[in-house]
């Protein structure tokens, strides 16, 4: 599981033919969370695997009130790793609230 120390994250919503909506928020840490899968065995012995929770990013130390107040759904999350200076960018599909100062974003 990867983790990045960050000062801020930027969420964006990109549209065809229009400028993107953008919001930058102070943030302390971003964690990569692997997906959770369920395995079920059918009567004939066939194993079926289904996704219970998609792979995601957990952004810690953000103000969820600001994020909840936007009227659009982000589809891109980016940040700069404070340790390496590397810029990281991830396509996201939706957000789940985790705790008062953390949000979980499902990866596309």
Q: Which is it for strands 76-80 and 36-41: parallel, antiparallel or unpaired? A: unpaired
**Residue 61 pLDDT exceeds 70:** yes
pTM, two decimals, is 0.83
Q: Which residues contact 76 (CB under 8 A, 6 or more apart)?
A: 11, 12, 13, 14, 20, 89, 90, 91, 92
Best CA proximity match to 103, nearest among 65, 60, 49, 68: 60
* Domain residue limits, the chain: 3-107
Work out the mean pLDDT of the chain and round it to a whole number: 91
- pLDDT value at 54 more than 80: yes
pLDDT-derived band of residue 94, with 50, 70 and 90 as boundaries?
A: confident
∠86-88-92 over CA atoms, to 5°? 170
Q: Is 14 left (phi over 0), alpha (psi -120 to 50) or beta?
A: beta
Average pLDDT of span 62-78: 93
């Amino acid at each position: 599981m990867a983790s990045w120390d960050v000062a801020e994250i930027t969420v964006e919503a990109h549209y065809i033919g229009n400028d993107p909506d953008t919001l930058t928020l102070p943030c302390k840490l971003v964690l990569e969370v692997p997906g959770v899968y369920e395995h079920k065995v059918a009567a004939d012995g066939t194993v079926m695997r289904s996704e219970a929770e998609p792979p995601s990013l957990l952004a810690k130390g953000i103000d969820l009130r600001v994020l909840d107040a936007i009227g659009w759904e982000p589809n891109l999350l980016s940040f700069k790793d404070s340790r390496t200076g590397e810029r990281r960018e991830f396509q996201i599909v939706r957000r789940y609230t985790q705790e008062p100062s953390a949000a979980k974003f499902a990866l596309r």
